[in-house]
Structure 1
Amino acid sequence: MTEVQRPPLTADERVQLIGWLDLQRSFVRMKCEGLSEEDAHRKVLDTSPLMTMAGLVAHLRWNEYSWFQLNLMGVPNTGQTPWTEGGHDDAEMFVDDIPLAQLLDDYDAECKRSNQTIAGLPLDAVEQGPYAAKGEAASLRYILCHMLEETARHLGHMDIIRELVDGKTGYTTMSEA
């Protein structure tokens, strides 16, 4: 059984934001524990065929990369964008041929890189990527709040998919810091 820690009750804003995001990130792997490859790629919603456990892990990895590398740091896109002009908006979720373990490892590595990227940045640091040129740059604080919302929202989707796939619900033990 995995034990996860909530951030300290009286920590500063940065520790709280990153701590809560890291907690949500840890639930992604937890929600996938014990899934077969077939179940990880199972399409359980006819109206949302890309909404699979594997697809959601890939989508969350892409969001980490997109927000922290492309947008915040302004790393040039040299072809790593999974869609092209006129392509599918959720092309990063087409992962039927990629093992869940690889997707989870890629996600964990991207989360680690995100944390390393922001380690020395103030919460008021703003995006250097494509939105900066448009005058629409978000702060790191905004990005952390958005990523917390994005990750938690898709964990809700994972909860539902997991219950539909094999009936498993809930989390393992959580302890207070």
Structure 2
Amino acid sequence: MVTHVRAEAQGDERGALISFLAEQRGGIRRALLGLTEEQAASRPSASELSLGGLLKHVAEVEQGWVARAKGEPPAVKRDESNWHECFVLTDGETVAGQLAYWEEVAAETEKFIRAVPSLDDTFPLPDDPWFPPDEAVSMRWLVLHLIRETARHAGHADIVRESLDGKTAFELVAQEQGTTWG
């Protein structure tokens, strides 16, 4: 799994941004540690969110934004007819499959961000009603947006996991490292 960016890559701006994104991905990934598919699909809080659904959403969103920055369409086009599938695993999708997909997406994100000539280069925002018309954003904006999006959902994942079985982010970090917390 992509868990850490090379230490030497963290000294530059791109490396720092990629490291922060990787750190937030880790929060969501850890929230799924040791869960069954049924647990990952459950909604133990007042929210409609599940850990499996959050995983699918962040992988899909990351892929979509990087595709747009490349001038390509997202792998999955969402609209009113299928938006409800954005936060649930459907049609044989599994946590393991989504984790593997997200790892591929993460590798492509890093490769792309490292290859763009400048973080100041821009691409147009999608033609969606919640974005200003004819607006362009920078590659720096792209990575910061992905950090914000992933961090927001990592926080959701913390709450869902703690509601599910009481495990906190600290306990899950310890579990991932093979140690104990507290």
Same fold per superposition (TM over 0.5): yes
Q: What letter corresponds to residue 99 of structure 2 in structure 1?
A: L
Q: Does 1:167 align with 2:163?
A: no
Task: Give CA deviations for 1:72-109 in whole Å, capped at 9, x if unaligned.
Answer: 111135x731x34x325343223144211111111111
Matched, 1:125 2:125: no
Change (3 A) 1:88 1:76: closer
Q: For residues 119 and 136 of structure 1, what CA distance do their matches in structure 2 show?
A: 24
Q: Which runs of 5+ in 2 are unaligned?
A: 128-132, 177-182
Quote the offset at 1:64 in angstroms: 0.7
8 A contact 1:6–1:23 mirrored in 2: no
The aligned residue for residue 158 of structure 1 is 157
**Alignment partners' CA distance in 2, 1:155 and 1:109:** 19
Q: Deviations over 1:40-98 (max 9, x none)?
A: 0002234x32x1000000000111111111x2111135x731x34x3253432231442
Equivalent-residue separation in structure 2 for 1:63 and 1:37 (angstroms): 22
The SS at the match of 1:127 is strand
> Is the contact between residue 17 and residue 143 of structure 2 (CA under 8 Å) also seen in structure 1?
yes
Match of 2:59 among 48, 58, 61: 61
8 Å contact from structure 1 (residues 61, 107) kept in 2: yes
Partner of 1:115: 110
Query: 1:20 matched to which residue of 2?
Result: 20
Moved over 4 A (4+): 3-8
CA distance in 2 between counterparts of 1:114 and 1:4 reads 14
Unaligned runs of 5+ in 1: none
Compute the TM-score of the two structures, normalised by the length of structure 2. Answer: 0.78
Q: How many residues are matched?
A: 165
CA distance in 2, matches of 1:152, 1:17: 13
Cα 1:164/1:130, change in 2 over 3 Å: closer
**CA shift in 2, pair 1:159/1:138, >3 Å:** same
Any conservation in 2 of the 1:37–1:100 contact (CA below 8 Å)?
A: yes
Quote the offset at 1:32 in angstroms: 1.0
Structure with more helix by fraction? 2
For residue 180 of structure 2, what is the aligned residue in structure 1? Answer: none
The answer on whether the counterparts of 2:54 and 2:87 sit within 8 Å (CA) in structure 1 is: yes
